[in-house]
Chain A
């Protein structure tokens, strides 16, 4: 067993080192193209340059790399230039529907597409739209996706641009939750695509549908007998949620809410675990996506407040048994608490999963930092030697966190439901 893990470790370090050398080769051509770009820039004022090998990164940027890897994408990156295309379903009010597979963008290394289709381009595996309406429609071969430095709030930020005909076309800002009030922006199109995250969710959904259907069939076929096979594996988990979560926190009427709790538990657990796999069917960081956890928390909010009885609402708006001046203070606090409860539920899951992934990516990034983006082979080896045990340790902890966070989400949901349906004791 020990020798097996040693072999895996060696294989991993070999892979990372060869990747480092690959970067090393790119670095040389990169610096050459930089010189070209500089001379071209002096001749034509404001002309927009294109780095010749699509490597728009002058040096390794750990923050950008980490955030790109935990983000969502419209194509599933497997290795090198190979992407598994996912369907893009885009709707723009000024253009209508655009349906296609993501491989139509002909993405190269780093997920940058070499074609613009109806002003849509692929940047780091993500569909973006060219802001300029004068850009030609239909399928257009663009020169490359590049970056320009722009100062936003006094900070230099890399902004992606599409280069076409020697001109840089700015891309639309990513839509943000605030709709552009605190900076950020709002895109002019709706992305209904089956992205990496949606694909992962569907995968988990189908997996658990098959598992539970087979278990249900076994229960029917083997009525009154001891559990067997998959059934024997699932039964303790279901009983654990029933006996340790639902019964103590909800009380006598637990059976009404047990399906909801089990769905939430298995959905989060499945997504947490599939997010730990660093390659193809995994690697979708779904529970580390604020949108997904927000919808989960919204479900909890609705279920809790729809089922809240008179007693529950009385305790929120006019707490019985306390003097009137205190009631005036307590009511706003309780009303705020109504929203803070699902809000922390959303943040807890998101923050725990994202933090784990970022720590892993930071340790992997050590290889490139010590190796000076591939310039130093010894540094890469040293970085790999340091980062492999650290990464394995953090991933072991992440495995534990995956279970704990699924459990905590279910437990807190049960306790909120329990508080909402509790009968009056006074």
Chain B
């Protein structure tokens, strides 16, 4: 390595041979020494923790894989129960194997399960396509509309030879994805308008936005959902009934909007005043200024808290279980109500956690990449 730069010194000034940092200050060995074994106390801590980690990891692997039962014939759960009581307990994944279609799709008619399955695939594909920067064009909006229409047709059916499935029978993962996607897709633009409104020079707009944020933020999501499902219909004239899912959807959207608005406002406030002034001085109108100068910078600043809120709301959609909507978590809960499968909740909840984790972790990783990419201009 050192001979590469020999003879390349500028203008004849002899260049010192590049010096390497002393060995044992870099590399994994040095890292381990510095972080794990730097003193006798640290060494002791490392050893104790390592013991517990290894011990419980082995225990978990034994339970989850080695001793586990993967399937049982015809709901015959005796083997599972015996295993649970034995000295070497294991997981009964048979409950997930047996019930996975119910957990994923709820009470949707069994023969038609390919439809919600396709809906989940479409949603996931939509997220992936929307995440790729090369697709950030106007056509993406059309793709969204088209996909959402197809999803609606698949879920409801009633045309194109698909049998009609009423909304009461929908359930499982599609419900979670519908609530999260529509909720955030409407809440995000709403939140931007509210955040801008809170900084407006027009007092009426400002008061309205502050009132919205404070009122919605001041009550738990559960009470909003209750209001949407129980109280709201009382105010409607006789004979008019708005879909329960839609009402829950609106409640979630409004709730998410209030939280996101505060995140966006944080970004607006973090932007130096000079940026507003420079845009004003160039004669840019309010909307050009906001669209070209303010929001692109403000939103980049708040990607981490924004995604934090997104992830929070993806999981908060599970609260609809209290008003009897069959989302992923409710479906899982219901799956273990059946007497044959009672007592195997841990396995079901673990399986559901894995699904939630996949979506949330993907969001988290994606936001990190996006942040790095969009903020490249900050580096020199």
Partners in one complex: no
Give B contacts to A, CB under 8 Å.
Answer: none
